[in-house]
Amino acid sequence: MLSKRIIPCLDVRNGRVVKGVNFQNVADVDDPVKLARFYSEQGADELVFYDITASNEGRNIFLDVVEKVAKEISIPFTVGGGIREVEDFHKALAAGADKVSVNSAAVKNPQLIKEASLKYGKQCVVLSIDCKKSRQGNWTVFLNGGRIDTGKDAIAWAKEGEALGAGEIVLNSMDADGVKTGFHIPITKAIAEAVQVPVVASGGAGTKEHFLEVLTTGKADAALAASVFHFGEILIPDLKEYLYNNEIAIRRVKHG
């Protein structure tokens, strides 16, 4: 059985880690290089770095920050934000990323997933999906940091992304983002059951129990969080010990 993963997320704006609630009221947190080093030492399984305004501002990702972070950590590193073409994959991987996450550009040009997967391998291609529940009761895909509702069904898009060559899906429930009331279990479970590739749940972590729920009932392969880790509300070694004691296959943190 594959170990479940715990993944801190660095949302970066203007070279600083920030965090908001429901994609609004974004506040400054810390220096990304310092925080990345801390998480690597704490026993995080991976690290995700999102340049959260790159797509909306129509610019490329902060590669200099990516390079600095990559030098400080010894765990797999996913980078996203402002990835619009295959050349952007090359730049991010050359700067030290192990995986590259696409969101808005992939919806606009699904062939980007296929081209990148063929060139760099599906293990390098992560499809990030920002979704929200519609009035009709289904989940639809949003673009540009949650600013544009595409009307596209999130489950159908996850299946299409997998077919095109995405090796992993990060599912961010915008309704749950930053509110700490728990991951959105129904949509996470639905997508995990619809695809064969790993699904990373994102949005809503507030307690250790929330992580346990999404990794069991929600059928997620990994759980991603920001606020609870950034503000020291949950320490990764403690979380992993809790999950291990609840019979979750997890890579435990070696002490001493």
Residue 238 annotated in active site: no
Token pair recorded at residue 178: 């930053």
Task: Give the whole-angstrom CA distance, residue 56 versus residue 143.
Answer: 9
* Catalytic, out of 45, 88, 130, 177: 130
Residue 11 annotated in active site: yes
* Catalytic, out of 11, 45, 51, 177: 11
- Residues that are catalytic: 11, 130
